[in-house]
Amino acid sequence: MFQITRNLISSLNHNRVIYCHWKSNVNLVEACNGYDDLDLLIDPNSFSIFNSIINELGFKQGLNFSQHHWGVLHFYGLDSLTGEILHLHVYLKIVTGASLTKPIHIPLENFYLGLCSYHETGFKVPQKHLELFTYLIRLSWKYTGLVEIVLLNREKNRIIKELNYLYDNNIINELSKFLDQNDFGVSIEHVTKFVNVLYNGNFIAKFFYAFKFRYQAKVNVKHNFIYRLFNGLKIAFMRISTKIFKNNKKILLTGGRTIAIVGLDGSGKSTVVGELEKWLKIHFQVNTCHFGKPRSSFRFILINDLIKLLRKFKKLRKEIRANNEKVDYEGQYSFFYSLRNYVLSYDRMHIALKMHGFSLRGKIVLFDRYKSASRFMMDSPRLCYLRAKGINKVLAKIEEYNYSRIPSVDILIHLKVDVENAVKRNHLRVKTGKESEEFIRKRYLINDGIEYESANILNVNSDVEIHEMLLNIKTYIWSKL
C-alpha cells in the first residue's frame, strides 16, 4: 500500500470524516497501490475537513473540460516513497450510470454512509447488499446505452469478478429486507433474475433485462431521453477526438507548467525526460519537445535541407559545426555558420513559444534542453554582432532577438555528472551517430560553469542511482505544480 494511502486513511478516520469507498471494493487492495483510482463518497458536511486533509497531504485537483460532472471531483497525490501518483475520484452524491454521461443520481447516500464497516485496508466501505443494488442499477444503464455497449464488451471478466464478490445468499437476504422496507421500485425477484441473466444470458437477454430493471428502479434522472441521447453522442465524439489528438487526460486546477531538463552530454537528460513523460502522462495532458534539436519550422525547411547537404562536404561541415568550439568577441564567422545559427535560433524560438502556449492551456510541457544564460555556450546565442560585418552582422542581431523572445521555464532541472561517467555512459549508449569521447570531453571543457535562469531550479547529481535521482526530481516537480 502506498504511504500516502496509509496517511489518507489514518487522517480520514482520526478526524471522523463521514465517508466510504463506495464502489469497486473487490479491487480496493489493488487500488490502494495505485492500480486504479479510489472512489470516495464524502458527506457534504464533512467536505471542508476532507479538503483540509488532502491539501495537507499534498493532493492537487484536476479538471477535465470535455467530460465534467457536478458533484464529482478529481484529486491527485504523490507517494513520497515510490514517486507514483494516487488518483482520488471524489463524489458528493452517488452520480453514476453510463460512464461517459453519468445521467442518474441514486439517492442512497444516507444508507451508504450510515451503514459502514471497515475494510482490511482501513477504509470505510458500505454494506455489500447496498453495493450490489447500486452496481445492478449502474449496469442496467450501461447495458442500455448506445455508447457503453463497446466498453462493456471489454469488461466481461471484471463484471463477473465483481458479481462473485457481491452476490451470495446472505447478501441477497439483507437486500431483500432492505427492499421490503424501502420502496425503490424493484423486488428481490427482479434482482435475482437480472443477476442470473448477467451470469448466463446472451447479449440480447442482458439488454432486455437491463432495460426492464433500469425503468423499474427509482432513481433521479438529470435530463430527458432526447437530451441524454445527443449529450451521449456529443461526449462520445469528444472522447474519440481527444483520443486521436491525445488530449483526453486531466489538467491541474493550478494550470500548466513548463519543465526543462538540462545538462551536458551523458548526464541522462533523455532518460529523465522519458521517465517523467511516462509518469505524468498517465493522468495529465503532457507535451514534450527537444529544444536543442528542434524540428525545422515550415519557412526554413529548404534552408535546413540545404545545410544538411552542405555538411557532407568536409570543409563546410567544419565551419558549420563550429559550435563545438568556444567563440570570442574577436571571432569572424563564415556566412554558412551565421546562417545555420540564425535558422537554429528561429526554430528554437518557434518551438519554445508554441510549447509555452500549450502550458497556458493547462498542459504540462517537458523540454529536453533549454536556453542557457551563458553566452556562446550550449543552447545560447553563438554570434557576436559587435564584431560581425555585413550580412553576418544582420544575422547575429536577429539571432540575439530570437533568443531574447524565449521565455524562462517554470521549473528547471539541471543534471550534473562527472565527465568520466559521462564518457562511460556515452560508450554504452545505443544510438546512431553518437558523439565521440573527444567531443564529449571538449564539450565539458567549453561549457564548464554554464548557467540557466528559472524561478525554480533544482541541481541534481546524476551520478547516483536512477531510482533515487528520479524520486528526488519527481518530489521537487510535484511541489511546484
Asked whether 27 and 119 are in contact (CB, 8 A), the reply is: no
Side-chain half-sphere CA neighbours of 202 within 13 A = 1
The 10s digit of each residue's pLDDT in 68-113 is 677 899 999 999 999 999 999 999 999 887 666 677 889 999 999 9
Same domain, 371 and 241: no
What residues are paired with 40 via a beta bridge? 21, 90
Q: How far is CA 77 from CA 53, 100, 268, 406, 471, in A?
A: 12, 24, 26, 32, 14
C-alpha grid cell for residue 469?
Answer: 535521482
Q: What is the mean pLDDT of residues 279-290?
A: 94
Q: Which of 22-26, 156-160, 235-239 has the lowest mean pLDDT?
A: 235-239
Residue type for 440, please? I
CA 361 – CA 335 distance, rounded (Å):
40
Q: Is 60 exceeded by the pLDDT of residue 318?
A: no
CATH number at residue 443: 3.40.50.300
380 burial type by CB count under 10 A (0-12 exposed, 13-18 middle, 19+ buried): middle
Same domain, 90 and 230: yes
Same domain, 63 and 112: yes
Same domain, 274 and 141: no
Same domain, 296 and 324: yes
Q: Last residue of some domain: 199, 228, 245?
A: 245
CA 405 – CA 395 distance, rounded (Å):
16
The 10s digit of each residue's pLDDT in 345-397 is 999 999 999 999 999 999 999 999 999 998 888 899 988 877 778 888 889 89
Same domain, 178 and 272: no
Query: What pLDDT sits at residue 325?
Result: 47
Same domain, 363 and 405: yes
Q: Which helix (H) or strand (E) holds 204?
A: helix 203-216
CA 452 to chain centre: 27
Q: Last residue of some domain: 220, 245, 270?
A: 245
Query: What pLDDT sits at residue 46?
Result: 95
Asked whether 22 and 40 are in contact (CB, 8 A), the reply is: yes
Same domain, 324 and 429: yes
Helix locations, 361-447, DSSP H: 390-404, 419-428, 437-446
Side-chain half-sphere CA neighbours of 362 within 13 A = 16
The 10s digit of each residue's pLDDT in 32-55 is 988 889 999 999 999 999 999 999
Helix locations, 265-411, DSSP H: 269-281, 301-310, 314-320, 335-360, 390-404
The 10s digit of each residue's pLDDT in 200-223 is 988 888 889 988 998 888 888 765
Query: Most confidently modeled of 78-82, 336-340, 441-445?
Result: 78-82
No. of helices (H) and no. of strands (E), the chain: 19, 16
Residue type for 344, please? L
The 10s digit of each residue's pLDDT in 128-140 is 999 999 999 988 8
Q: Last residue of some domain: 224, 245, 266?
A: 245
161: helix, coil or strand?
A: helix
Q: Which of 6-10, 292-296, 300-304, 306-310 has the lowest mean pLDDT?
A: 306-310
Q: How far is CA 220 from CA 227, 342, 375, 402, in A?
A: 15, 64, 65, 58
Q: Band the pLDDT of 194: cuts 50, 70, 90.
A: very high
CA 202 – CA 207 distance, rounded (Å):
9
| Structural domain span for residue 338 | 251-480
Phi-psi region of 437 (alpha: psi -120 to 50; beta: other; left: phi over 0): alpha
Domain count, the chain: 2
Query: What pLDDT sits at residue 433?
Result: 61
Same domain, 180 and 267: no
Same domain, 272 and 191: no
Same domain, 70 and 200: yes
What share of the chain has pLDDT > 90, as a percent? 53
Q: Which of 2-6, 46-50, 149-153, 281-285 has the lowest mean pLDDT?
A: 149-153
